[in-house]
Amino acid sequence: MIGIIRYGAGNIFSLTAALERLGIAYGMVNTEADLEQYDRYIIPGVGHAGAAMNKLQHTGLVPAIKALKKPTLGICVGMQLLTSYSEEGNSNLLDIFPIKTLKFAASTDHKVPHTGWNRVYPEKENPLFKNIPAGSHFYFVHSYFIEYNNVHTLAATDYSIKFSASIWQDNFYGVQFHPEKSGLVGETLLTNFSKL
């Protein structure tokens, strides 16, 4: 059963609706004690990474999240929180991944925020992307990106530069796109996560 970590950063309705559609059981994590009820976790998030980190710190959950040993998936800002630092708000984050979240440079060819469908190419074998063809389209909405890193990038995409669409280290995973808004391939990824 998936525990969704609640810390007040963004609307989670589309995520819970997708899990319900897929028949994946979930509940809410509001306190450290709640973590024990679940065998995997999702950290959702939309909006400002610095503000999200501030809200997460106020829950008192930060040490417990960093110590998790069960599969944990950060989505969008939830993925950015797993990195060490974001240029958004000049913010120190969870530092589970020793990589940074950086701002896109706007140009005439590449508007910021990056909004829409982009092809994603897995770079490592991992069950999170099982039955998802390389080059599948996922839905993105973001102004900041996670720097590409050979060690931690699980899947990459390109929008003015190559960046991490997904990261992976031990039991921690992140996706910059919104699987809950990415149709069949997104539902496949959520199902794969529920079986990790």
Mention every residue, 6+ apart, whose C-beta is less than 8 A from residue 145.
101, 102, 103, 104, 114, 159, 161, 163, 164, 176
Looking at the DSSP assignment, which residues form a beta bridge with residue 43? Answer: 74
With vertex at residue 153, the alpha carbon angle to CA 184 and CA 112, rounded to the nearest 5 degrees, is: 70
76 is catalytic: yes
Which domains occur in the chain, in start order? 2-195 (3.40.50.880)
Catalytic residue among 88, 114, 152, 180: 180
Catalytic residue among 48, 76, 88, 114: 76
Q: What is the pLDDT of residue 106?
A: 76
180 is catalytic: yes
Per-10-residue mean pLDDT, the chain, length 196: 90 93 97 96 90 93 97 96 95 97 84 90 97 98 93 95 96 97 98 98
With vertex at residue 171, the alpha carbon angle to CA 41 and CA 22, rounded to the nearest 5 degrees, is: 40
Instruction: Please give the structure tokens belonging to residue 42.
Output: 């999702």
